[in-house]
Structure 1
Amino acid sequence: MCGRFALLAKADLMREFLNVVNMEDPPPRYNIAPTQPVLIVVASDKHEPGSNLPERKAMLVRWGFMPGWVKDPRDFPLLINARAETAIDKASFRAAMRHRRILVPASGFFEWRRPADKGAKSQAYFIRPKKGEVVAFAGLMETWSSADGSEVDTGAILTTAANNDIARVHDRMPVVIRPEDFSRWLDCKTQEPRDVVDLMKPIDDGFFEAIPVSDSVNKVANMGPDILLPVEEMPPETKKGAQAPPPSDQLSLF
């Protein structure tokens, strides 16, 4: 899964990387957690000058997908991830896979290696691209409407099986969309879900590197750059007391 990520890149870099028309400098965010607003990129109805390709625009959504048919969000689980292998057919994500595919820019994501010994401490890692400062995850969005007419834009990150580099830490990882595939992924008018299945696969080995970091990332309140500082990697079976998996201290927009 992907339960925390960071976005540190400046607007000019993301404008060039994502080719968006309305990108402003976002503040650096070192510990983005579920239920918080996240920056996403969607295809707009306008077209690029001299091209048939639609323009792209940036917007904010709540990280925690809410299907439109949900009546009461308090009775529905928080969907921060969608499994790429089942999203096309799963009731919660089927409509979004067909009509509302998005890109989620990130500088990297956090994952935890859970040791076999349940009494041992988990090791946190910041997993970032070896080259470049920003990467785009595949995502889905949905606008949820309440009974009083208010609306909340919500989103989820698609995950797939981990590649060999990440498998030593966790068995899942976000789906990475390469720049040359941005247009095809975002094109929900001519590209049906079955046409983009080939994009929902593990990124090549060697794309990411996993940097061991401290468990300060476990707390949502820790939002400074120090959480990215490398630490000495703990051996898998080093016992230092049980560590609860993140994230439990999340915010809510409902």
Structure 2
Amino acid sequence: MCTNYALVKTSGAVRLAERLSVAPDDFIYSRNFKPGSTISVVTGAEGGHVARPAIWWLYLRQTDQGLKPHRDYFSVNTRYDKLPKKPEYRHRRCIVPATAFVESQDGKHPHLLEPADGSAIAFGGLYKKWTEQVTGEIVYSASIITLPGIKALEGIHRKSVPMWLPEDAYEAWLSPDVTDTAELDYLLDPALRSDLKATPIERAGTKNPIGDAFFICA
């Protein structure tokens, strides 16, 4: 997965928030989330779900300026084959809401991918909880899980695809009571949950279209 996505306050994003039983206004919205950005994640909590701000970089380090992304560990994504060794996979799973994401082939020819039906995306992710040593503030960090590439996207990004959760998996994915990850193994099969609208763009940061959009069937 490339390292840029968007969450815009659309009707699809509002529906996803409502489905997750969180307030749409608790989400952080941006067209340009990149590594190190403060993003929104939804986590399981006692009595329900919570939308939290998190740094998009799983491993942090303490600096004089506070907790910052640990540059020795590029951790915006977590590969599916690394999950068995991650305690977060058993205990700290999250959903990263999005309305579009960017993929490119070997860093070239980026495309903006968004559900053709206007829905929002629930990426499967992991999160960590940190304590800032100077202020005592609790800080969250997160990564998006990536799965093997799929044929539908091989012309845009052949190497991997982000984990896109089906709606009927939200509760189990977020439940702190589900610690036997064998129950979640079926989610490691890569899939699109909606047809996608793909638009060639100039670059990930600006997302200016440079060609005609086309559709990719799920």
Bin for the TM-score computed over the shorter chain: 0.7 to 0.9
1:30-53, Cα deviation, whole Å (9 max, x unpaired): 11111111111112201xxxxxxx
Tell whether 2:137 aligns with 1:153: no
CA RMSD after TM alignment: 2.5
Rate the CA distance shift 1:27–1:177 in 2: closer, same or farther, 3 A: closer
1:168 match: secondary structure: coil
**What is the deviation of 1:137?**
0.3
Which has the greater radius of gyration? 1
CA distance in structure 2 between the aligned counterparts of 1:31 and 1:75, rounded to whole angstroms: 21
**What is the deviation of 1:75?**
6.1
- Is the Cα–Cα contact under 8 Å of residues 42 and 101 in structure 1 kept in the other structure? yes
The one-letter code sitting in structure 1 at the alignment partner of 2:6 is A
Give the % identical residues.
22
Moved more, 101-110 or 190-199: 190-199
Give matches, 1:4-83, under 5 Å: 4-10=4-10, 12-16=14-18, 18-24=19-25, 26=27, 28-46=29-47, 55-66=48-59, 74=70, 76-83=72-79
Give matches, 1:56-135, under 5 Å: 56-66=49-59, 74=70, 76-89=72-85, 94-114=86-106, 122-135=108-121
Q: How many pairs does the alignment contain? A: 203
2:96 match: secondary structure: strand
More strand by share: 2
Residue number in structure 1 paired with 2:215: none
**What is the deviation of 1:74?**
4.6
Tell whether 2:168 aligns with 1:180: yes
**What is the deviation of 1:58?**
1.0
TM value normalised by structure 1: 0.71
Tell whether 2:210 aligns with 1:231: yes
The one-letter code sitting in structure 1 at the alignment partner of 2:77 is N
The one-letter code sitting in structure 2 at the alignment partner of 1:189 is D
**What is the deviation of 1:15?**
2.7
The one-letter code sitting in structure 2 at the alignment partner of 1:85 is D
1:112 match: secondary structure: strand
CA distance in structure 1 between the aligned counterparts of 2:62 and 2:26, rounded to whole angstroms: 36
CA distance in structure 2 between the aligned counterparts of 1:21 and 1:210, rounded to whole angstroms: 29
The one-letter code sitting in structure 2 at the alignment partner of 1:180 is D
The one-letter code sitting in structure 2 at the alignment partner of 1:78 is F
Partner residue of 1:138 out of 124, 127, 133: 124
Rate the CA distance shift 1:31–1:74 in 2: closer, same or farther, 3 A: closer
Q: Structure 2 stretches of 5 or more lacking a match?
A: 64-68, 213-218
**Segments of 4+ in structure 1 off by > 4 A?**
25-28, 70-75
Rate the CA distance shift 1:12–1:129 in 2: closer, same or farther, 3 A: closer
